[in-house]
Structures are given as structure tokens and as C-alpha cells.
Amino acid sequence: MLATPPGVSFVFAFQSKVNSKDSCRQPGLGVYKSVDQTAVQRPFIMSFWAVSRGLTPPSKVAPMLNPNQRQFLEDEMRYREKLKLMARGDAMDEVYVRKQETVDDPLELDKHDSFYQTTKSLLVLFQIMGVMPIHRNPPVKNLPRTGYSWGSKQVMWAIFIYSCQTTVVVLVLRERVKKFVTSPDKRFDEAIYNVIFISLLFTNFLLPVASWRHGPQVAIFKNMWTNYQYKFFKTTGSPIVFPNLYPLTWSLCIFSWVLSIAINLSQYFLQPDFRLWYTFAYYPIIAMLNCFCSLWYINCNAFGTASRALSDALQTTIRGEKPAQKLTEYRHLWVDLSHMMQQLGRAYSNMYGMYCLVIFFTTIIATYGSISEILDHGATYKEVGLFVIVFYCMGLLYIICNEAHYASRKVGLDFQTKLLNINLTSVDAATQKEVEMLLVAINKNPPIMNLDGYANINRELITTNITFMATYLVVLLQFKITEQRRTQSQAA
């Protein structure tokens, strides 16, 4: 009978135990995954091949294990050592056994949730406006810190505010439609203005479907931020610091409403038929668009800050001794950060999808209307009002796409570049393997801002929108020029 070389029998027994329990939990241990059978049995086959040919098998065959498999093996060996010490009655203080997963203390979560504390003003503003009625749960274990319930007082307040706002919107909409249909002097620029402002009013009716329906997804996103910050603190020993985010959030909340008032008043002074009481229907709608742009800017800024803090902690760990085990936890932190970026687009997919459609439609109509009116009657103050709408819409689109681009680059490319700059010859083999696994994780989980599969938010979206707008404008202007030539020929 052939002798099995030392080390191989243990690996073979280890594989048998793993195969018998696909996912097992030992007392004091976590949950583990099974080991690839082919990878573990390969050393045994190689040893049998060497002995059968009269060659000397290696004294020890080291299996090639990934980090999770190696963690399972190390915990199993430590647990067996603990059982032996317990059987002999020896002390176990120096034997490390991985702790079971525990539920985080809600008070500790609140203590380290600096992102919620610094951006609370925007969350409260959304609640007051009735846009996103999520709430903060009491500090109870096994209860998420942020929740959404259709029977909460925040939702009841949102319904009340939405009812009052919808009443004003319906009155303004009826007045505009009546004037648009019955007006004897239907000038082209007035028709364009009516189409634009009527389309903006319809966004109010989409609010319950586009925003409230995704309240549970928004609560999940907020809880991911809360858990991530505490997990980051437990892993690195230092919290994530968001410099200047508190005054920035307050400034954006105030600026969103100031900009809404300024845009509506400018339309009131530039359009003779735009009455002052019409503005009360447009104030909350334009402010809501500004607040969603602010929300996107704040979250993208926070993603970049978290990625920078994680890369700094990783660089510090690499300089220490035997950083392989710590790098595994950093890899999990990075994957969680990438998933948070994807959850942001999933939670607000309908709102930002409607956002992009309104911008696209309004920009095309306003640009065509201004150019067409200039060709017919020359430049007037009304065309200035149309250009204000165009620059406002394109500015919102640029901010959203540009910030998403920078967030994806900081979390993905910049983080990956720092990993590639690590001198792998100066670290041990386990650390080299962990760095490779982290690079694979970045490649398999790209930090892309995606609206739940509808569109990727990046700089390419700006150029795509501009291309489509230019195409439609060229076609519309061709019809306009053709109509002008036909009118001139008939008059001649």
C-alpha cells in the first residue's frame, strides 16, 4: 500500500469534512463556504503519481486556497487546538477563535454615523416638502436605523402637503391650458412657453409613483451608509471624516430654494402673460429638482471621501507586518462601497429617470423655440427667458453626470492605481494574494452609477444627450426653413 505523504492526509480529511457540510457553523466560528474539490485533491494525485513511478514525493504539499478557504482552514485548526486545551484543562487565553457575528449596538451606530448627522438638514427638508418621507427608527436592536412605513406620520404629512400643492398645480394647469386653447393671438413663442411650463407641472403628478414607491429602497441605502461607517471604524480603528459636508449641505438646501425663487421671478418679469400667482405652483417643483441635484452631489462627494479614507488606511496597513488578514476586511469594505454606489441609482432610479427626461424634453423645446422666434421676429426678452431655461437644465445635467464620473473614478480607477503601485516584492506571499484578490474584486464589481439598468450616469450621458438634441434641432429647423420659403414664395 502506498504511503500518503505528510500534509496530504490532513488536506484530504479537511476536504471530506467540507464536502459533508456545504455551509457549516462551529461553536465560536462564522459561516464558511465549501472548498473546490479539484483544487484540494490535486496535491494527493500528484503525490500518488510520484510514488507510482518510484520518485520521492514531496514532504509537504501546500494546497492553493483562496482567502476564504484559508480562513476556514485556520479557524478549524485553532478550534481543534482549543478543544485539546480544554480536554487537558489548560488555559485558553492565548488561543484566538473567531467571534460569532453579533448585532451592532444602535447607539454605537448613531455615534459613528457622521454622514447622517452632517446631511440631516437635507433629509429634513425632503420630509417637509413631502418628497421622500423616510424616518429615523428608535435605537432598538434588530431594527434598522432608517425606515419607511406607509402609516408613519412622515407619510401622512407628505400626503397633506402633496394635496395642497396639487390643488395649486391643477388651478394653474387649467388656467394655462384654457389660455393656450382659447387665445386668439397664438404666437409661436407663447405656445412654446405654454408647452414647457405645462410639462413641468406634470412632474408633480409623478411624485407618488416615482419617489414614494421607492421609499424602502431609499431606507436600505441610508442603512448601508450607517452600517458601512461603523464597519469601517471597527476595521481601521478610525472613523470616516467628511470635512465641510455639514455647511455644504445647509448651503445647498438654502440655495435650492433661492434658485427656484429667482428662476420663477425671472420668468414672471420676462413674460407678460406669466402671472405672479402662477409661481406658487412652480416654486416647490423647481426646488425639488434642485434638491435632488444637491442630494446627488453630496452622495458622490461622500463616496470619494470614503474611498480616499479606505485607500489611506490600506497604505498604512501595507507598511505593517503581515497585513494579509486585514486586507481581506478591506476588500469587503471596498465591495460594500461599490454596492452602495449601485444602490443609490437603484433607490432613486425613477426620480432621476424622470429628471433626465424633463431636462431632455425641455431643452429641445426651449432651444428650438428661441432660435425659431429669433429667425421670425428677432431677439426679445422672451427669448432670454427661454435661454435661461436651457442653461438651467443643461447645468443640472452637467452636475449630475460630472459628479458621478468623479465618484466612479475615485472609487474605481484611483483606488486601483494605488494598489498597482504597491511594491509586491517587499511583502509576503499571503499579502500578494490578497492584493490580487482585491484587484479582481474591483474588476468584477465596477463602481458604476446606474439607474436600475435604465442608463449609466457618467460624462458620456452628456455627449449622448447633446448629440440627440442637435439631431432633433436640425430636423426641426429644416422644417422651419422650408415653411418660411414656402410662405415667401406664396406671398411673391
Q: State the pLDDT at residue 14.
A: 43
Q: State the pLDDT at residue 55.
A: 64
Q: 360-381, pLDDT tens digit by residue?
A: 888 888 888 788 877 777 777 7
Calculate the average pLDDT of the chain.
80
Q: State the pLDDT at residue 139.
A: 86
The whole-number average pLDDT for the span 424-453 is 85
* pLDDT of residue 474 exceeding 70: yes
Q: 45-90, pLDDT tens digit by residue?
A: 555 555 566 666 555 555 566 656 666 676 677 667 777 776 776 5
For residue 69, the one-letter residue type is: Q
Q: 9-45, pLDDT tens digit by residue?
A: 444 444 444 444 443 433 333 333 444 444 444 555 5
Q: 195-227, pLDDT tens digit by residue?
A: 888 888 888 898 888 889 889 999 999 999 999
Q: What percent of the chain has pLDDT over 70?
A: 78
- CA–CA separation, 220 vs 146, rounded Å? 8
Q: State the pLDDT at residue 187.
A: 63
Q: State the pLDDT at residue 34.
A: 40
pLDDT top residue among 64 and 259:
259
For residue 131, the one-letter residue type is: V
Is this prediction's pTM over 0.85?
no
